[in-house]
Amino acid sequence: MRKSLGMAALLGGALLGAWMAPARADPVKFRIGWIAMPASRAGYLLEKPDLLHHLNQSYTLEPMHFSSTPAQLQALASGELDIAQLGYSTLGAAVENAHMDDVRLIADELEDGKPGWSTTRFTVLKDSPIKTIDDLKGKVVATNGIGTGLDIALRWVLFQHHLQAKTDYTDVEINFPNMKSALGEHKVDLISAVLPFMYDPELVKIGRTLFEQGAETGPSELLMWAARAPYIAAHRAALVDLMEDVLRMQRWYFDPANHAEAQQIAAKITKQPIDSLNWVFTKGDFYRSPNGNPDLKTVADDLKMEKTLGFLKSDIDVSKYADLSIVDEASTRLGKMKEE
């Protein structure tokens, strides 16, 4: 009898302990936007799952493709996207136009025009009569979306040459993969050639760089990761795990010892010949902070440029719309790296 009572007590204790133990939370599903590969990390995160130590434990991934940052902002606002890639221009639109006071920059994606690294090439045909920026008067220019970072940068450069959109030139939207054909077929006079398209052998054959963004505007935070404050508060631990894995993966790709394999992966995801991708994950690529921190001063300078062009009515305090504690904790886990 005592034995059966003892067994019952043990069983009861085990059941009580199981009932009192916290239930293991299901992994958080992160829907992350991306635009172009290999520029957008989210588009190829799953190519090296062995580097994602927390995948399927604290989080899972659903990369989602968009044509532009404004499209991602709309999806973030409607709740259809959890982590968006925003440019400085779409940050301004989020704050002032969409009144998303809870939007937060959480990580760097890439910086255009960092000295010593790649920058966008605004390209015309080789036989085009356009020789200078002033020659764009009366012409048709293409970016991937009105109000994107590239669009603002192009408008700024033309503004410096006293050229106004609609009055002095026509600005049209074309997806990056279609720009080469639009230029070759004389549908537009100038395109925004970003990575990897600027190195396309066919574009190099027919095109000529009229000017480079970095030389005209200086560095700009072309893409940053953003989420909304309530979402961050609800899933912060998983977000730190995600950023730790993202930074680990990024450091692996930019390690020269891994360049051959990284180049093979880039060829697979872009469907480009491998010998045309020597530049990828080198200084021929866009700059990415090894610690994941966007340059908030550069963002502030970019927003001032946007305001001058009339896209913003007020000055925006960038620090109010940034939460860098996630990347700071993630990079501390991995060990801080020296910034270039």
Global pTM reads: 0.82
134 close to 128: Cβ distance less than 8 angstroms: no
CB 197 within 8 A of CB 203: yes
Secondary structure (H, E, C), 27-58: CEEEEEEECCCCCCHHHHHHHCHHHCCCECCC
Run of H or E including 3: helix 2-20
Q: CA-CA distance, 122 to 132, in Å (whole number)? A: 12
Asked if 28-112+221-334 and 121-217 have one fold, the answer is: yes
Q: What residue segments make up the domains of the chain, in order of their start?
A: 28-112+221-334, 121-217
CB atoms under 10 Å from CB of 117, counted, come to: 19
193 vs 184: CA distance, rounded Å: 13
CATH topology of domain 28-112+221-334: D-Maltodextrin-Binding Protein; domain 2 (3.40.190)
The domain made up of 121-217 is a member of CATH 3.40.190.10? yes
Interatomic CA distance for residues 217 and 214, integer angstroms: 5
One digit per residue, the tens of pLDDT, for the chain of length 340 reads: 444 444 444 444 444 444 444 455 799 999 999 988 888 888 889 999 999 999 999 999 999 999 888 899 999 999 999 999 998 888 988 999 899 999 999 999 999 999 999 999 999 999 999 999 999 999 999 998 887 888 999 999 999 999 999 999 999 999 999 999 999 999 999 999 988 889 888 999 999 999 999 999 999 998 999 999 999 999 999 999 999 999 999 999 999 999 999 999 999 998 888 988 999 999 999 999 999 999 999 999 999 998 999 888 989 999 999 999 999 999 999 999 988 7
Could you tell me the two tokens for 336? 């801080």
State whether the Cα torsion 38-39-43-46 is positive or negative: positive
